[in-house]
Chains A and B, each alone.
Chain A
Amino acid sequence: MNLSTKAKWIAAGTVAVAVLLFITFRYAAQPPPPAVSVPPSVQLQESRLVGRKDGQRQWEILSRSVLQEGDVVTLRELEEMVVFQDEEPYLTIQAPEAEWERKTELLRLFGPVLVEGEEGFRLESDYLEWQGRSSKLLSPGPVQMLWRGMEISADTMTMDTEGEIVFLQGNVEIRDGGLVWKLEEAVYDLDAESMDFYGNVVLEGEAGSD
């Protein structure tokens, strides 16, 4: 066999292989699935999320449904939420739904929200924000609190959990035994148990108080 005959055989073999490959992929192999639009999200069931700052645990959430979409994590059917201070449980929170913005460290709690802490601390609001960067708990709407026998309500509240200071604004009412304070703004130092009152103040002493 001379070289040209060999070349012919090689060319014929190549064509045969190409035809076989074409037939195999065209008719024998399954076609690839059509392209499906997948959102950039992750849904988890029965999850425990932990928020940390400088390595320290800030909060922990046990949720039945966690949906992550970009930087926003939506939590539904919350079972347990604990805010920590110095690695110790500081506040427990009950809320039906929450949103966590990871980049801004903002945790939004949709109400009715109930926050409970030591010494009978109790806070109720329709909406709360936990600002992780500043360690502040914010209620931009009406809030009711119980603390060491006092009943406190206000139009808005900001709690600095590091400084243990509560800022109350608008229609502030503090009921302490038989005394009822009504004022425009109050700054309450939880640790020192002292309150600074701003603007006009009304104190009503009720019958039966000492």
Chain B
Amino acid sequence: MTKRLTLLCLLAGMLALAPAVWAQGQSGTLEITGVPADVPAGRYDRQAGVFSADVSAIEGALVHVTFEEVKIVGQTMEWRTDDDYLIFTGGATLTKEDFTVTGDTLEYFGKEKKLHAVGSVVVVTDDATVYANELVYDEETDEAVFTGQVKVVFDDGVLEGEKFVMFLEKSELQFFGAFQGTFETD
């Protein structure tokens, strides 16, 4: 089980670090698809340094943000270029290689180097699926904090609690408050 959790930690770490790539000046793309030519897709306020897009009313239309191997797909987003803040609302999915993060809201704070997912958060990896109400990853402290009805589902067991912290480099897990686990044994 320790091995599985370590893998989960590493994957989550890669996931959380990924948005910083845009801020570091690497190549990335934002693409809005499925929008008829006469329908507004987004607005760029250059003075405020804000690009916003809302295609939720257009069937089949999506906003894709890609940097390196990370892809975020949603329908409503705002990007504040000055402080490198990106937010997807109304549901979004972040994908990198073999894992995904889904949440009602996904935010990346470039200056603070934090990733924030809120509402029906689901992190899926090859080894486990983590459910929570909220996920905050802080690049500085290297902490990924899952809170609110946290549930970690493995092939052979389930862990449930209210707060679950992963210290990525140390591959350390902390469970706060009451936590209960159920595992199948050979």
Contact = CB atoms under 8 A, between A and B. Distances in A.
A184 interface: yes
B55 to A, nearest CB: 10
A181 B32 CA distance: 11
A178 interface: yes
B39 A198 contact: yes
Task: State the main secondary structure of chain A at its contact with B.
Answer: strand
Nearest to A187: B40
Given A205-B29, A207-B27, A209-B25, A199 B46 contact: no
A150 B47 CA distance: 13
A161 B58 CA distance: 32
A193 B40 contact: no
Contact of B26 (A195, A196, A207): A207
A204 interface: yes
Given A199-B36, A201-B31, A201-B53, A194 B25 contact: no
Contacts of A204: 27-29
Interface string B6-39: 0000000000000000110111111111111111
Interface residues of A, number: 28
A184 B41 CA distance: 11
A205 to B, nearest CB: 4
A197 B33 CA distance: 12
Given A199-B35, A201-B42, A194 B47 contact: yes
B45 interface: yes
B36 A202 contact: no
Given A178-B25, A201-B35, A206-B27, 6 more contacts: A185-B38, A194-B43, A197-B53, A198-B39, A201-B31, A203-B29
20 contacts: A150-B46, A192-B45, A192-B47, A195-B46, A197-B40, A197-B42, A197-B44, A199-B37, A200-B32, A201-B32, A201-B42, A202-B29, A202-B31, A203-B31, A204-B27, A204-B29, A205-B26, A205-B30, A209-B25, A210-B84
Interface of A: 148, 150, 176, 178-179, 181, 183-185, 192-210
